Homo-oligomer: A and B are copies of this chain.
């Protein structure tokens, strides 16, 4: 309450809170009175307490998400994607080209992914691009290429969806639906993937707080889909030396708040090839449940983000980093899933 709040102002707040079934406790000090409120936060929202006479500030103490919260589900979850587990006991590598360009390029990238120790293939068919003049992806043709490469390599497919109207099409081909950073608060899309019956990879918006990120996961969960993997991919800050600033602390912070797995994208956060390996190592050491990395057989002719894709000589180093660091963190590296592909029916 403001210093000038009257007893009537305080009584009024208490009454409002109790009228919607909440409890209000008044703490009175020399220069300030605080009213603690406990109950259903959605009911309290509608009271617009900040507009009431004598109210100085309204602070929320409890989190705005429930289903994804660790408070309601203390054990950390394991999410299975085409049979591959992502969770607290494993270290999963997702790798592949930023954009699917041709069958050959995609197959070669998938083989690089296998060599790097990946258990899942990433690749974009629908690309969200800041400029309308940039390469926008192959669309459904790209999805078909990904499905063929899955047949060939046994790697389940993770691919992005950007339009609620495309969700069914993408879900028909993909093992996991990716929501990109720019779409983290595209609520129509979140609700659509919540109903799609496929696991979801939810990237953090580059200016989203951890709380907003988990609230977006809650949108998906609320539609009945709790198979969500969170992906930290850098936040926007004043620093221009890197494309975004990888918020490495978000890994342990989110693991404490939510039961969902958290992986890291070292390629898009830094935007520079020379940072991918140091950031991959940092992610594993910080406790991430996996990493998602761009690889490309010919980065110099890539249609998208070629400057950050790992090339031939980097692949062995990536595999080594994963192989050596995973056991130190109490994790098993998840290997290529050659046999799992047979039972796969997307």
A interface residue numbers (CB < 8 A to B): 3, 23-34, 36-39, 41-42, 45-48, 50-52, 57, 59, 61-62, 64-65, 71, 128-135, 162-166, 182-183, 185-189, 205-207, 209-212, 215-216, 218-219, 222, 235-242, 245-253, 256, 269-270, 273-275, 278-279, 281-287, 299-303, 306-307, 324-325, 328
Contacts and interface: CB of A to CB of B under 8 A. Distances in A.
A282 B248 contact: yes
A174 to B, nearest CB: 17
A134 B42 contact: yes
Contact of A130 (B185, B251, B286): B185
24 contacts: A23-B28, A25-B34, A27-B36, A31-B62, A34-B38, A34-B61, A42-B133, A48-B300, A48-B301, A51-B300, A65-B131, A131-B218, A164-B165, A165-B165, A209-B238, A211-B241, A239-B247, A239-B250, A249-B269, A252-B278, A252-B279, A278-B287, A282-B285, A285-B286
Contact of A286 (B59, B71, B207, B282): B282
Given A186-B182, A281-B285, A50 B307 contact: yes
Nearest to A134: B45
Nearest to A307: B50
A249 B235 contact: no
Nearest to A209: B239
Given A27-B37, A32-B61, 8 more contacts: A52-B300, A65-B131, A130-B212, A186-B189, A249-B269, A279-B286, A281-B285, A281-B286
